[in-house]
Chains A and B, each alone.
Chain A
Amino acid sequence: MTPALTRVRRPGITRVRRPGRSLTLTALTGIVLVYSLVPLIWLLVNATKSQQGLFSSFGLWFADDFALWDNVVETLRYDDGIFLRWLGNTLLYVLAGAGGATLLATLGGYGLAKFDFVGRRAVFAIVIGAVAVPGTALAVPTFLMFSRLGLTNTPWAVIIPSLITPFGLYLMWVFAAEAIPDELLEAARCDGASELRTLFQICLPLLAPGIVTVLLFSMVATWNNYFLPLIMLKDPDWYPLTLGLDAWNAQAATAGGQPVFHLVITGSLLTILPLLAAFLLLQRYWQSGLAAGGVKE
């Protein structure tokens, strides 16, 4: 466990005197913890049940049969293994979409932070303003536009809209303003480096925590993207996991359809595992990235 001193992230920052640990506070915060974890535990426990077990057992405890392995296998195999295809699609959308979004946000944030140019104030106001318009009603105009361009029912219809993250733009803007000293830029310009080179070779390492943060948050957003793919994609071969799970859930609601609730639950579990893993492994980066810069004292 963490020692009495704060975990030292930057040398020299320590608390002078630490009050003792409080069980009461831990217990109270523990309530929020339980609240956060109960549905996830529910998901885990119910993924071990067969469909019949689902219908006949207590929600938060196991059924008589332990079918986790069977469920996982069936999830991966059902309908000619379309789950794996959906997983592949999601990875494609995430890597291309989130990767591209991070790139655009980094470039944009850097530009907003370090340059003064005509229209600078307006840019962010416009971005926030446009985001305020409900996406669902923009869906039809976007869909009509994209189909004129012949993009619907292709991965592009999902990737291109994912390239815009206003929150990412904001984060990079703030982060770049804090983390890159103007002196560094002046020095680079004196040395004759081009602006692009300055960014990629000099500033990038400084921006790294912010970039990883934006990347992770965009990955979550694209991984969980639901509504836009719903209207853009008609071919189940191109569905991301969220759409696929929803389709499996809706399958029960049709004449002659076969309910597969146990696969929906197991599939949901499999869907969230990669994200959880990514966040757990990359904790260090995104937490410091969110801190948006360092202490300049």
Chain B
Amino acid sequence: MNGTTVRAVAVAAAATLALAGCGSGDDPTDSAGDEQVSAADVQAALEAGGELTVWAWEPTLAEVVTGFQAAYPNVTVELVNAGTGDDQYTALQNAIAAGDGLPDVAQIEYYALPQFALAGSVTDLTGYGAGDLADTFTPGPWSSVNTGGGVHGLPMDSGPMALFYNQEVFDEHGIDVPATWDEYVDAARELHRADPQVYITNDVGDAGFTTSLIWQSGGQPFQVDGTEVTIDFTDDGSARFADTWQQLISEDLLAPVSSWSDQWYQGLADGTIASLATGAWMPANLISGVADGAGKWRVAPLPQWDAGGTASAENGGSSLAVPSAAANKALAYGFIEYANAGDGVQIRVDGGAFPATTAQLQSPEFLGTEFAYFGGQQANEIFAESAGNVVDGWSYLPFQVYANSVFNDTVGQAYVSDTPLTEALNAWRDTCVSYGTDQGFTVS
């Protein structure tokens, strides 16, 4: 093709996109599952350029944007932090309701994605070639975006769980690193007995943590089939979690500190919160927020429910999705492909993010990274192994955002009163059932 033809194609593509942009504001719920946009079209869109608005709070995306704009000079990306987590979802919902002010790309955590997918608020990316990307990503994140008969976002990072612990505190009190959750409870008792100011971890009721641990335990409290939803916390996996965790609650072995508060950071810094069971994205937060802990912390595999087991679960992590009413979808897809499956991944990993791509998680360089914060430990190996061991078959509710918002109203009460955890979980179930029914789902 000579230069003229290339330019003609580009102009035609741009014109088509411009026209598409004019019209797309009017059909907010068309999830465009039927659109077939080839890789060449996407490439053409990237060459033609345009403007993209990206709503995300992930800090490493700033550098991705720089790299992206350098690779595709005709595209300008405006990266906006429209709030973190729930705040941004609220903004998204409002914008969708108003039919105006939507971004082209939005960061949506895995637990919230089904909600947007069900409402038809995010584009099905299968038609853009995302269906071929199954092997690019690790199983946990991939199953989280591949819901409701389509691919509704591309995984950005992941949070396979591990145990972060303060080696210095453990050594000081002669505690061994627990390999099972029963050992963990024993360690909690020992630690607190040795020094009543110190707790093995903090917990005031966290929906993400609870669901992840039930996930690891093999429980499947949420079953979703289209608009039919079942919620049941009495299955074996959930019951096992509730029984074990109840011991920690009843014996006051959990620091009554809210995660992410200034008191929490202080507790991590001075050793009164001795460990955290959380996702693989935690190192960046420890490094920037708990400077005093440098060199004292280590990483270990997540404690197991069954001795000798290797099960794990995901905790947190987000994807990048394209709202259905976005103006410039092909261009938006080009961006998220770059950020999550292309060069952008390495940029983010270098910035401290934990990837969701198999390539990175299998690369020797990545696995061999030595974390100075963890005393030179090659923590990525533990994370990668955890990623591969994520238990199958988990799903979130199609209204998980709401469910999580009322978690503390119900389950949280078990932490501040004598209500048993199992009863509190059932209260959560009841609230979710009544909400789901109210919203038109068939819930049982």
Contact = CB atoms under 8 A, between A and B. Distances in A.
Interface of A: 52, 54-56, 140, 143-144, 147-148, 150, 152-153, 231, 234-236, 247, 250-259, 261
A250 B261 CA distance: 9
Contact of A55 (B262, B281, B353): B262
B316 A255 contact: yes
B1 interface: no
A256 B56 CA distance: 12
Contacts of B262: 54-55, 252, 259, 261
Most buried by A among B58, B81, B261, B269: B81
A255 B284 contact: yes
B278 to A, nearest CB: 9
Most buried by A among B101, B281, B352: B101
A172 B261 CA distance: 44
B32 interface: no
Given A52-B292, A255-B279, A257-B59, A143 B98 contact: yes
Contacts of B95: 147, 234
Contact of A56 (B83, B87, B270): B270
B288 A259 contact: yes
A136 to B, nearest CB: 13
A236 B80 contact: yes
A144 B98 contact: yes
B355 interface: no
B369 interface: no
B97 to A, nearest CB: 6
11 contacts: A55-B292, A56-B292, A140-B94, A236-B80, A250-B84, A252-B261, A254-B260, A255-B284, A256-B59, A256-B60, A256-B285
Nearest to A153: B101
B371 interface: no
Interface residues of B, number: 42
B270 A150 contact: no
Contact of B82 (A54, A144, A234, A255): A234
Contacts of A254: 57, 84-85, 260
The 3 closest A-B pairs by CB, nearest first: A147-B98, A253-B260, A55-B266
Nearest to A143: B94
Given A234-B80, A236-B81, A254-B85, A259 B101 contact: no
A247 B270 CA distance: 26
Contacts of A236: 80-82
B340 to A, nearest CB: 15
Nearest to A251: B84
A150 B100 contact: yes
A152 B85 CA distance: 21
B282 interface: yes
Interface of B: 55, 57-60, 80-85, 87, 91, 94-95, 97-101, 157, 159, 259-262, 265-266, 269-270, 279, 281-282, 284-285, 288-289, 291-292, 316, 352-353
A255 B292 contact: no
A234 B89 CA distance: 12
Contact of A247 (B81, B100, B289): B81
B265 A255 contact: no
B283 to A, nearest CB: 9
A253 B262 CA distance: 10
A147 B289 contact: no
Given A147-B100, A252-B265, A55 B94 contact: no
B286 to A, nearest CB: 11
Contact of A255 (B94, B97, B100, B285): B285
Nearest to B61: A256
Contact of B101 (A52, A140, A147, A255): A147
Nearest to A145: B98
A63 to B, nearest CB: 13
B282 A255 contact: yes
B284 A55 contact: no
Contacts of B58: 256
A259 B94 contact: no
Contacts of B91: 234
Given A56-B292, A252-B289, 8 more contacts: A55-B266, A55-B269, A143-B94, A143-B98, A255-B157, A255-B316, A256-B353, A257-B84
Contacts of A251: 84
Contacts of B292: 52, 55-56
B87 A250 contact: yes
A164 to B, nearest CB: 22
A193 to B, nearest CB: 48
B420 to A, nearest CB: 29
A72 B352 CA distance: 28
Contacts of A143: 94, 98
A56 B292 CA distance: 10
Contacts of B100: 147-148, 150, 152
Nearest to A150: B100
Nearest to A255: B281
